[in-house]
Chain A
């Protein structure tokens, strides 16, 4: 990891023409997720990701943008191997997380998914109490001590900005919460696992502006401690919360750079068109 960093710094200095621009953009960042020539097929005919190369920096917010169907969710779900569940799908290339190939034999999926948490587009609380929802992850990962669990539930709910609102309703059914609360509960549930990386697939797309604002606030606080990868259709949102942005198109990674650069001075014409709303 350190080697890579040094390499990059060096290359940034020398401004090599063949080196992709993102290397310069990522100068000085520690890389957590790295893919090399990643191809993903839902079936032999359905080629969803094409030779994707991306490096995602440590404790930063990285946003994936692109028109519907371009493969953002697919790429995200490659990072915690959620795509394994789809029968008939297969993958080529490599995904390294903290330097380890997560698709090699002998990887324990439960460990991986504990480390790489995920928040889904549609909130999916379990039909249990709020408390049980948050304690679900620690429990399946073997924590049984009640006071330890209590503590984890409280701190996770606090981090997700939900504690104040529902600390008196911990035993109520999670299905009784509002949509925005449910989504923050799902964030808290993910946080309770103490992950290193949080993947979020359009976490606010089904919510009203106020709830969306709260979620964005939460994300802003979380980036101090977590590496966050977020898929969003909302350009303003991407601009507000992300440090880096990746633009995808038809399964290909078109451009990756700092959010500022992508939004103000993108290199690719396609990116500019998309951001300015000329298509997509």
Chain B
């Protein structure tokens, strides 16, 4: 027996088995976490049935059943009691002040799932669970329960949404109309504050500007009046399209239809109808702005911010990384110095990401951004333009963070280029640069793309350095829009990774936001995978072209 064990040890297979077991366990956990994210993330939008529970103490709740568990309680006599508990999402935050309650089975006297119960998603205060009592469209009132009532409610909702859109458009027209005047007034204020105002010339300019402002004010007065009236009319109109609902206990509540995102009767809906709602909510999630301090609505700005930031980062990191790698590999004399530089670059990959964030803050934002402000945007100081966090600085910080990855991968790509091809090019009278450009770089491109893929994977998920270089909880504008110069590198932006942290841990309503965390995490994974797939697609095409290289 002794001998067999020592032989077993000698073979070393046991270590391999232990190691592979560990690997299998780790892989299993990865699969498990992805499955959890997938199921939780995707099921969040499915319209759930509602239940009406009446309690022994005569109170009643309507809501969605979320979780249930069994707890064991020991009473004073030492006897163990089994207790069934369940969590009900009761919504109606404006009435109850909370979204969830825990109840025990023993408290419940009656449970049913009424078909006429409606679930209403509102722009504010979250969901409302209740029963429709009355639909008002102007002077018309409908309160006869039945199918007609629902149809009327739908009609009212469509009308209110259309009106809401018109209000938004009118508001925008109004803003556009006022913009030049607002600019002028800002100029006047700045001039008044500046030392120039004391000089004669300054006074004269000021007078001119003020005259101009008055002129403009007069010229837009008519149109302003019309638009304002229209705005008032529309707003009033929407105030007259009202839904009155009752809670499970009969308390009534009026809701403007324009404040409703959607409503439905889950208990009487068929599968396809639910799927339709599900698709709508999914679309809203990826295409809309967030509401209710990010716990509801969509995450479009965060998706947009993430993608733009990753693209900017790629644009910055690839040329630098590739040039550095080319220099290290093709130009520099290999020696102690180069070995040291290479070692430093590799070690850069091990620096904690927050340190890069601090560097970005100190160097990019304060030093570079501050100087840019002083030279080009001095009229806006002390309000910073580039001297504060923004998408450019965040992207550059991440570019620095991912630089080693690109350098290392590119170097490997360069090493994989056959020496015979390089010599062949030189023997034909090519200069070193021509050789690099025409023979080495195309051959190394798959390696470079590998670097890019790794950089994207690393960069897209990084949150810590962004928090001090420009990410915000809620950005009022996107980094790319229709106003000149279209790409606004100085703007703050939203990011999915930060969004997860913010919604899950910083929002006032953490319990309600939990599913949002899963969904956003899922989305982040999907985006990283998509970006990678694009790069992998190009790499495979190139590989096919340069079959000689093993990259």
Contacts and interface: CB of A to CB of B under 8 A. Distances in A.
A82 B549 CA distance: 23
Interface string A110-136: 110110011010101111000000001
B429 A120 contact: no
A19 interface: no
**Interface bracket on B:** 20 to 34
A144 to B, nearest CB: 14
A80 B421 CA distance: 16
Contacts of A137: 428-429
Contact of B428 (A122, A127, A136): A136
Given A136-B425, A193-B429, A127 B438 contact: no
Contacts of B548: 127, 175
A210 interface: no
Nearest to B548: A127
Interface in A130-179: 136-137, 140-141, 173, 175
Contact of A186 (B424, B429, B430, B439): B424
A153 to B, nearest CB: 14
Contacts of A122: 420
Contact of B333 (A82, A87, A114): A87
B85 to A, nearest CB: 68
A173 B544 CA distance: 11
B81 interface: no
Contacts, number: 69
Contacts of A173: 545
A82 B439 CA distance: 17
B423 A120 contact: yes
A124 B423 contact: yes
Interface string B150-175: 00000000000000000000000000
A186 B546 CA distance: 18
A85 interface: yes
Interface in B393-438: 418, 420-421, 423-431, 434, 438
B355 to A, nearest CB: 36
A122 B434 CA distance: 22
A124 B435 CA distance: 14
Contact of B430 (A82, A117, A140): A140
Contacts of B429: 110-111, 113-114, 137, 140-141, 193
A110 B431 contact: yes
A55 interface: no
Interface of A: 80, 82, 85, 87, 110-111, 113-114, 117-118, 120, 122, 124-127, 136-137, 140-141, 173, 175, 186, 189-190, 193
The 5 tightest CB contacts between A and B, nearest first, are: A114-B429, A124-B420, A137-B428, A118-B427, A140-B430
Interface of B: 333-334, 418, 420-421, 423-431, 434, 438-439, 442-443, 545-549
5 contacts: A113-B426, A127-B443, A136-B438, A137-B429, A193-B429
